[in-house]
Amino acid sequence: MADLDLAEVIKSISPSVLNYTEWTQVGMALKEEGFPCSIWDDWSRADSRYKAGECDSKWNSFRGTDKPVRGGTIVAMAIEQGYIPPRLFSDDHELDWGDTIEDKIVDVDWIAPKETKIPDIKNWDPVAELIKYLETLFSSEDNVGYVTKSYGKDGGYFPSKGNYDRTAGELIDALGRCNGDICSVFGDFNDECGAWIRFNPLDGHGIKNDNVTEFRYALVESDSMEIGKQEAIIRELELPVAALVYSGGKSIHAIVKVDAKDYSEYRKRVDQLYSICRKNGLEIDPQNKNPSRLSRMPGVTRKGQPQHLLDTNIGKGSWAEWEEWYEKQTDDLPDPISLSDVWGNIPDLAPSLISGILRQGHKMLLAGPSKAGKSFLLIQLAIAIAEGRKWLDFKCEQGKVLYVNLELDGNSCMHRFNDVYEELGYPPEHTSNITLWNLRGKALPMDKLAPKLIRRALKERYIAVIIDPIYKVITGDENSADKMAEFFNHFDTICHELGAAVVYCHHHSKGSQGQKMAADRSSGSGVFARDPDALLDLIELHLTEEMARALDVPEGTTAWEIDATLREFTKPPSQHAVFRYPIHRMDKRGVLKDAETEGEWKASQAWKNKQDKGREKRSDNARIEREAHIQNVRDAIAAAKADGMLTTIKNILPYLSEYEDEEIKDASLRTWISRWKKNDEVRFEINKENNNQLEEIDF
């Protein structure tokens, strides 16, 4: 944390709003970063809970851990309470924690304190105030929890369990008949500490969170800044406040409408509410989160000061209305424009970065299967831009390139650039135009990486940022359209902030890609194809021996078709190249023009093999069937002879039919015999000299 003095940073944190664990983490972080205990002790004195000697005792118990708390924890706490690091927006800012600066609408250093109107006791109507408070927060049948009894401890006063079995309607009715004596309705209270009331309705059986029947309100309280500023920030934030109460002491209690349907939603909304308040300079007491929490009851006194109802129903009317309003106040979206305002003076298009393919400030995806040489192709692109050369067959504008290497060892990456330069034959005249950012093993999700990248690149005037590969920084499920749309928005932010094109690569989905359109081959959601302004897709071609000889490339070379899907330009013809380590070279002779894709070739080979196997099988089946017929004829002759029959065609047919699946006729048998003779397989002759008997001749 050499960039920041933590002793100064903690001055932006109010110890009174931290719980015990958070307070302890501050001490652990200070010790870990080499600061003395006195820094922690001096800072802790601003908290009413401070006890002399506690910091020293706790400090000595910090003996280190495998996962120490570091200075970034202190900075994160300070930022949550509105602190802005002094170099956060400077060009050379470089922090080592994942800071995210949220929008805010109140600058606490500039807002003027409001004059909080506290009535004179003599001109005060406490009964009317309390009735108005109850009517504002509760319906008549709601059970209300309240406390007037207190007990002393460690020099202070604390509320007892109190009452919770009376409805707002009963209390309001009793107040209307009390003749100004609130104590006759609620019981006597101690003026030293006042009285309390629970702002959410209860079930009449207890005072815990489980006894809360509706999660309507949350308490916003701050006692570490002046009253006037507290009220000014609450009003400036347009918080949907149902009741605003002066505590009679150092704070204002804002009973804020959160309108949660259950405890889970209540917690989320209170966390959001407190975060926004802190971000806008209101130092919130985090111990007030519980829905059953006590707040100050208006209409009683505390050390002679009125616990006073300042106002009701201020700010926005509901949580939903306020949430929508706040979002509108903090968005940084551009205003809509009328086309008529720019007609005749429409701004120029962004200049081309890759001629006919990609404009500066736009996005391009390079997609392809494993081992397509995508990283080498991106290195070629970086060099082409740096040197003002062609990439593949496309002219590139010359300028500075940031190459974000997420996959390779840093030294290996530099060697690849050297190898590509040498193979291309380019003199390295403008290597100063290429900046490598080697992040292997240190890659962050894109939502964290993008702001750090922008800060480092802002003053370098890059015209292209190449990110290789993006699977290392993807946030969320790549098959989710919502998550991927959110992911690619970070690329838009880089383009917008730097004015540079963003080029990135991604892999194909599994399986054959030959029959798919180029835009459908990338793995994951269809957003991968729809989001970029230019998509260049590589698919492997089957490189025959004849093609390899014509291109004069050695064994191991692969061939590729490159298809473009473009938003800003007319689709160019498919390009063809061969990849021979370490570069892709264009096929300028058209050798690969009619080449099949590797997938198509494999499919056709599989079909051919299947056909050949089918023919072989059919041939085998015919041979087996033929041999069976021949044997059946032999058996029929033998059977006729055994019965003392002459073996004429007519006489053996009944015997033959017994061996065959169906009755054999004279013509069929003569056809078989003729075919066997013709193929010189078996010769059966009709011996006319021996009563036309059928005989087998050995040859």
pLDDT tier for residue 125 given thresholds of 50, 70 and 90:
very high
In terms of Cβ atoms closer than 10 Å to its own Cβ (0-12, 13-18, 19+), residue 7 is middle
Nearest to 439 by CA among 400, 467, 412, 407: 407
What is the DSSP-derived secondary structure letter of residue 13? S
Average pLDDT (128-150) is 96
The amino acid occupying position 219 is L
Average pLDDT (392-410) is 94
In terms of Cβ atoms closer than 10 Å to its own Cβ (0-12, 13-18, 19+), residue 614 is exposed
User: What is the token pair recorded at 531?
Assistant: 């989001």
Average pLDDT (22-49) is 88
Nearest to 15 by CA among 84, 72, 81: 81
Average pLDDT (296-315) is 94
Distance in angstroms (rounded) separating the CA atoms of residues 506 and 501: 17
How far, in Å, are 82, 247, 328, 329, 511 from residue 333 at the CA level?
A: 23, 40, 9, 10, 41
Q: Which residues pair with 306 in a beta bridge?
A: 301
At 92 the pLDDT is 39
What is the DSSP-derived secondary structure letter of residue 202? B
The amino acid occupying position 419 is D
- Residue 512, number of CB atoms within 10 A of its CB: 13
* Record: fold of 121-329: Alpha-Beta Plaits (3.30.70)
Length of the chain (residues)? 699
- Concatenating the DSSP letter of every residue in 441-469 gives TT---HHHHHHHHHHHHTTTTEEEEEEE-
Distance in angstroms (rounded) separating the CA atoms of residues 465 and 433: 12
At 87 the pLDDT is 45
Flag the least confident range among 65-69, 83-87, 369-373: 83-87
- Tens digits of per-residue pLDDT, 586-615? 999 999 999 998 878 877 777 777 777 778
Average pLDDT (662-679) is 85
Q: Are 228 and 115 in contact (CB under 8 A)?
A: yes
At 509 the pLDDT is 57
Kindly give the pairing relationship between strand 390-391 and strand 363-368: unpaired
Q: Are 508 and 521 in contact (CB under 8 A)?
A: yes
Average pLDDT (455-461) is 87
CA distance between the termini of the chain: 103
- Tens digits of per-residue pLDDT, 475-522? 777 777 777 778 888 899 899 889 999 999 887 755 554 554 544 445
Q: Which residues pair with 395 in a beta bridge?
A: 390
Average pLDDT (530-534) is 90
Distance in angstroms (rounded) separating the CA atoms of residues 618 and 602: 24
Distance in angstroms (rounded) separating the CA atoms of residues 93 and 680: 95
In terms of Cβ atoms closer than 10 Å to its own Cβ (0-12, 13-18, 19+), residue 634 is middle
Q: How much is the mean pLDDT over the chain?
A: 86
Higher-confidence position of 546 and 443: 546
User: What is the token pair recorded at 194?
Assistant: 């006042």
Is the pLDDT confidence value at 97 over 60? Answer: no
- Tens digits of per-residue pLDDT, 617-627? 788 888 888 88
Answer whether CATH 2.70.98.20 is correct for domain 352-595: no
Q: Are 569 and 551 in contact (CB under 8 A)?
A: no
The percentage of the chain sitting over the pLDDT mark of 70, rounded to a whole number, equals 93
**pTM as predicted:** 0.51
At 82 the pLDDT is 63
Is the pLDDT confidence value at 90 over 70? Answer: no
User: What is the token pair recorded at 204?
Assistant: 């009449």
- Tens digits of per-residue pLDDT, 576-594? 999 999 999 999 999 999 9
At 194 the pLDDT is 94
Rounded to 5 degrees, what are φ and ψ at 631?
A: -65, -35
> For residue 361, how far is the Cα from the chain centroid?
23
Instruction: Go through 181-216 and write b for each residue having 16 or more CB atoms within 10 A of its CB, e for each that does not.
Output: ebeebbeebbeebbbbbbbbbbeeeebeeebbebbb
- Tens digits of per-residue pLDDT, 180-226? 999 999 999 999 999 999 999 999 999 999 999 999 999 999 888 88
- Tens digits of per-residue pLDDT, 262-293? 999 999 999 999 989 988 888 888 788 899 99
CA angle centred on 670, ends 665 and 671, rounded to 5°: 100
Flag the least confident range among 191-195, 467-471, 560-564: 467-471
Q: Where are the chain's structural domains? A: 6-80, 121-329, 352-595, 605-697
Q: Are 413 and 437 in contact (CB under 8 A)?
A: no
